[in-house]
Chain A
Amino acid sequence: NAGVTQTPKFQVLKTGQSMTLQCAQDMNHNSMYWYRQDPGMGLRLIYYSASEGTTDKGEVPNGYNVSRLNKREFSLRLESAAPSQTSVYFCASTRGEGAYNEQFFGPGTRLTVL
């Protein structure tokens, strides 16, 4: 099993460009999450999907949209990238909803917005 996979691993964008970060898991997990990690700060939740067909905002959703395409895939879209969105993005999944379950993380996507 590959676990949680993310593409791309690295990306450089210019201000105003758009892009979609892809995430997939092969563990048949119900819940999926997108986090961002910035220097000197803890991981912060952007959006999550408790189950297929549902999505909800997290702590820092502004400037992002998500799609739970099916049970396996959860994508994060930046419609008009800004330098403040320069960060490392992690996708994660859990078997059940909520944080009582072990979180499995993808390898991360390092995004730079110029």
Chain B
Amino acid sequence: KNEVEQSPQNLTAQEGEFITINCSYSVGISALHWLQQHPGGGIVSLFMLSSGKKKHGRLIATINIQEKHSSLHITASHPRDSAVYICAVVGGATNKLIFGTGTLLAVQP
């Protein structure tokens, strides 16, 4: 079993829909990252959080440390949001990032 699990693996949405991507982890962590991988392959950091909630534009990330769960929400989705969204946690024995396999999001016009 992977230490970081994301769901769903694939998601198709219509433009304007509210989107939720989930991340569950099985190790003790001190922080969690959300990353976006563009269709061209480039990876950018969206959020790093260790508690509560963060918001940037139409993106909201939440984390519940007790439940070992985080969610990434996208409000008023747009085709340009189409990408792979990756959850990664800071924890485990090495204190390095442990990555999930990603959620492929396609937003159709």
Contacts and interface: CB of A to CB of B under 8 A. Distances in A.
Residue with the greatest number of chain A CB neighbours at <10 A, chosen from B90, B95, B97: B97
A99 B44 contact: no
Interface stretch (B11-19, B58-66, B67-75, B99-107): B99-107
Contact residues on A (Cβ < 8 Å of other chain), bracket: 20 to 34
A29 interface: no
Contact residues on B (Cβ < 8 Å of other chain), bracket: 20 to 34
A41 B99 CA distance: 9
Given A43-B99, A44-B99, A98 B86 contact: no
Contacts, number: 58
Contacts of B101: 40-42
Interface in B29-58: 30-31, 33, 35, 40-45, 48
Interface string B72-83: 000000000000
Contacts of A98: 90, 95-96
Contact of B102 (A42, A92, A103): A42
B42 A42 contact: no
A48 B42 CA distance: 20
B42 A105 contact: yes
B21 interface: no
B2 to A, nearest CB: 7
A87 B98 CA distance: 18
Residue with the greatest number of chain B CB neighbours at <10 A, chosen from A59, A88, A92, A100: A100
B96 A103 contact: no
A103 B30 contact: no
Contacts of B30: 100
A88 B102 CA distance: 15
Interface of A: 40-45, 48, 58-59, 88, 90, 92, 98-100, 102-105, 107-108, 110
Per CB-CB distance, the 7 closest pairs between chain A and chain B, nearest first, are: A42-B99, A105-B43, A99-B90, A43-B99, A99-B97, A102-B45, A108-B41
